[in-house]
Amino acid sequence: MNRRDFNQLMAAVGAGILFNNETASAQTPPSSSDGLVFAMLVHPKMILLDLVGPMTVFNMTMGKVHLVWKDKTPVPTEVGVSITPTTTFADCPRKVDVFFIPGGLAGSTALMEDPETLAFVKDMAANARYVTAVCTGSLVLGAAGVLQGKRATTLWNVRDILPTFGAIPVHDRVVEDGNIITGGGTTAGLDFGLDIVARLRGEDVAKRIQLIIEYDPHPPFDAGSPEKAGPEITNAFLKARKSVMDDAKTAALRAAERLKI
């Protein structure tokens, strides 16, 4: 089912399933437009699931989702599936309900040294109702100067980079500080998306979306954190990823120098 067909289906049943009269009147706060507006940055080498998890949840609000990049050329992800932007930096609306950045360490490292993207992120952050990221997308917020003095999280193996930007690292799946909301590594994007929808449309709506997508995880292994995976698996991963982690730290230090942190 494509997005248009899905939206038509949801429009037909949405009043009864997601937006009943009681929920709409009692729990829906004022929005930046007639419907919710989401601007989701897409970038080369991003993690596809970082984008698709939250996007699936946001899409079910019947809001407008903009996929934003410098131009409309398809953007390759880490799995080789390309995402076609729907708008550009120049044309993207600034006053959105949610501005979002997905992660992908190599892609995020490149963005931390990309003046055009950082200027766009800073501009969006100044106008968006919620400024958000998942995984290493938080590093891009940091490099744009958005996280100074803010509590935030990111992928576990680069969480120690956050203080470089003046941020306060927190070991949680979803972290809120004012209108800044960040999520941990990739799969935290679903928790993050539901949390944001609860803020925008109420907890009952978020719960209905969780039910519709059957988000009831029962992983086959209990190894989703360094503490649970144990030192052997964790250290092997850190050794394999050392070069890209070092690149990210170097880019973060250069960004902090530009920001005079």
The amino acid at 104: G
Provide the CATH number for the domain around residue 156.
3.40.50.880
Give φ, ψ of 172 to 5 degrees: -140, 160
Q: Are 178 and 128 in contact (CB under 8 A)?
A: no
* Burial (CB count within 10 angstroms: exposed 0-12, middle 13-18, buried 19+), residue 25: exposed
pLDDT tens profile 67-105: 999 999 999 999 999 999 999 999 999 999 999 999 999
Q: Active-site residue among 135, 146, 162, 206?
A: 135
135 catalytic residue (yes or no): yes
pLDDT tens profile 139-196: 999 999 999 999 999 999 999 999 999 999 999 999 999 999 999 999 999 999 999 9
Number of domains within the chain = 1
pLDDT tens profile 31-77: 444 599 999 999 999 999 999 999 999 999 999 999 999 999 999 99
Nearest alpha-carbon partner for 254 in 111, 128, 131: 111
Q: How far is CA 145 from the centre of its chain?
A: 17
For 189, the domain range is: 3-259
What 3-state class would DSSP assign to 11?
helix
